[in-house]
Amino acid sequence: MADHHEHDHYKEFDYERVTSPMQAVTARQAAIGALIALVGIVVAFGLPLLL
Q: For 10-35, what is the mean pLDDT? A: 77
Q: What is the mean pLDDT of the chain?
A: 78
pLDDT confidence of residue 23: 72
Characterize 1-30 residue by residue with b for buried, 16 or more Cβ atoms within 10 angstroms of its Cβ, and e for exposed: eeeeeeeeeeeeeeeeeeeeeeeeeeeeee
pLDDT confidence of residue 12: 61
